[in-house]
Amino acid sequence: MASHRSHTADRRGAVVQESAKIGINRRARRAAVALLALCALLVPTLAAAPTVADTTFSQTFRVFQQGNLQGNTHGGGSLWACFDTGEGLGRIVRYSMTGAVLKRSPELPLGHCAEIAYREADNTIYAVDYVPGGTTAHVRVVDMSLSVPAVVQTFDVAQYGLGQMVAIDNVRDQMLLKTGVAPYRFVFFALSGSKAETTITPLRELTYKPRLGRPQGLEVVGDEFLFLSSYAGGGATAYNRIHTFSLQGAYKGYRTIPIARESEGLALDRSAGRLYFGLHSPKAIYEASPAVLPAA
């Protein structure tokens, strides 16, 4: 937004300067003034264009599980949430779409599990275990179909940077990892094999320099990916934003969630085209509708 304004101001200055230099007559000057007035009218519209979609935010269900609600994902007809229970451990809970608890994992070595993702190819859940201030980073593959759910595969991903979010592109069966602070690094991996035999192969990396609040969630939607972040104001979370990038890394805009509670994790119901996110204090799952911005 700021770049739109400064760009406009530069152009306005250039027009005025040009007029003075060539000493144009009053009629031409009046036309220039009219043009500037038109620009002033148009500019807010243009600047707001990426964010005009009328997105509504509604609570899907309250969450009563103990622990620090973090990552969210959707798959197998359910919503899943990960709770940081402290000392490097986390627990994944499976919910019906109306909030009934269907299954709980034991405490697993999932760290902060800031984001989780569902891989449809083998019905596993991917969790990032990075803990703020830590120097290691893993993606853990959790098999929630076991009678006692367990981590069945671990990828050491510290070499791609710390401060991570994870998403699965279930159309292409790829993993997307977000790491780093400034710039952000978005790394795509091919997935092969399943469960304990899964392997990852790095494919490509994108970077994005501006910081976008505190990272909270990541999802791949069609040819785009969504990045959720929280913004502080007055020492607390003031609002949240869902940012949209193309899969080629172009920043396409954002939608503001005007709720002063920290957001936690994004979850996409791919078949129904619905998008969910978590909120803290009180803990809850919310839906953002529509799931994606209409094409600009």
In sequence order, what E strands does the chain have? 56-62, 68-75, 78-86, 89-95, 101-104, 116-119, 124-128, 138-143, 150-156, 165-169, 174-179, 184-192, 199-208, 214-221, 224-233, 236-246, 251-257, 263-269, 274-279, 284-289
With 0-12 CB in 10 A as exposed, 13-18 as middle and 19+ as buried, what is 260?
middle
Q: Contact region for Ca ion (CB under 5 A) — 73-81, 123-131, 146-154, 192-200? A: 73-81
Q: How far is the CB of 276 from Ca ion (least distance, A)?
A: 9
Size of the site for Ca ion (CB under 5 A): 3
Nearer to Ca ion, 8 or 215 (CB): 215
Nearer to Ca ion, 8 or 149 (CB): 149
Nearer to Ca ion, 117 or 177 (CB): 117
Q: How far is the CB of 189 from Ca ion (least distance, A)?
A: 16
Nearer to Ca ion, 115 or 143 (CB): 115
- Residues near 31 by beta carbon (within 8 Å), at least 6 away in sequence: none
Nearer to Ca ion, 8 or 129 (CB): 129
Site for Ca ion in 115-134 (CB under 5 A): 117
With 0-12 CB in 10 A as exposed, 13-18 as middle and 19+ as buried, what is 267?
buried
Binding to Ca ion by CB under 5 A, coded x per residue (else -) over 241-270, reads -------------------------x----
In sequence order, what E strands does 96-192 have? 101-104, 116-119, 124-128, 138-143, 150-156, 165-169, 174-179, 184-192
In the sheet with 214-221, reading across from the earlier edge strand, the strands are 214-221, 224-233, 236-246, 251-257
Parallel/antiparallel/unpaired status of strands 78-86 and 68-75: antiparallel
Residue nearest to Ca ion (CB): 73
Nearer to Ca ion, 8 or 63 (CB): 63
Nearer to Ca ion, 176 or 293 (CB): 176
With 0-12 CB in 10 A as exposed, 13-18 as middle and 19+ as buried, what is 89?
middle
Q: How far is the CB of 40 from Ca ion (least distance, A)?
A: 41
Q: Contact region for Ca ion (CB under 5 A) — 72-80, 130-138, 197-205, 279-287? A: 72-80
Binder among 8, 70, 73, 78 for Ca ion (CB under 5 A):
73
Q: Contact region for Ca ion (CB under 5 A) — 57-65, 114-122, 143-151, 254-262? A: 114-122
Nearer to Ca ion, 151 or 268 (CB): 268
Site for Ca ion in 269-288 (CB under 5 A): none
Q: Contact region for Ca ion (CB under 5 A) — 55-63, 95-103, 112-120, 245-253? A: 112-120
Q: Which two tokens mark 4?
A: 């739109």
Query: How many angstroms separate the CA atoms of 288 and 182, rounded?
Result: 27
Binding to Ca ion by CB under 5 A, coded x per residue (else -) over 203-232, reads ------------------------------
Query: How many angstroms separate the CA atoms of 64 and 217, rounded?
Result: 21
Q: Enumerate binding residues for Ca ion (CB under 5 A).
A: 73, 117, 266
